[in-house]
């Protein structure tokens, strides 16, 4: 089947995740070979996902972990651990 660009866009996310079936994957790949627009959309989306997965993009507040474990330590100390269990 010959795909138009709009078709490709609808499946771009699943294509990136590798969850399109073999036939569709092949059709999309064939389309990408000659369509610069869709290739650029695919590249730019992939770049965004690379950036998203970078730990520096979504950072934790400074001292977050220390404060969390401090609070937890207080809880562990204070609670008879079984008090809330049924």
Partner 1 sequence: MQTIETNEAGLIARILAGEKDLFHELIRPCERMVYLTLFAIVKNEAEAEDGAQETVISAYRHLASFRGEAKFSTWLTSIAINEGRKRLRKAKGAGEESIEEQTEGHEGDFTPAPLTDWREIPLEALERKELREALRVAVAELPDIYRQVFILRDVEELNIEETAQALGINPGAVKVRLHRARMMLQKRLVPVLKTTAPARRGFFGRAL
**Which ranges constitute the DSSP H helices of 35-83?**
36-53, 64-78
Indicate whether 66 belongs to the interface with partner 1 (CB under 8 A): no
Binding test (CB under 8 A) with partner 1, winner from 12, 20, 24, 25: 12
- On the 0-12 / 13-18 / 19+ scale of CB atoms within 10 A, 51 is exposed
Q: Interface with partner 1 by CB under 8 A: which residues? A: 5-6, 9-10, 12-14, 16, 19, 36-37, 39-41, 43-45, 47-54, 56-58, 60-61, 64-65, 67-69, 71-73, 75-76, 79, 81, 84-86
């Amino acid at each position: 089947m010959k795909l138009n660009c709009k078709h490709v866009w609808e499946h771009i996310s699943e294509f990136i995740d590798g969850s399109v079936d073999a036939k569709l994957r092949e059709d999309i790949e064939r389309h990408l070979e000659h369509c610069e627009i869709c290739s650029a959309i695919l590249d730019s989306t992939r770049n965004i996902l690379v950036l998203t997965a970078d730990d520096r993009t979504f950072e934790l507040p400074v001292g977050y972990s220390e404060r969390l474990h401090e609070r937890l330590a207080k809880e562990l100390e204070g609670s008879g651990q079984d008090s809330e269990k049924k």
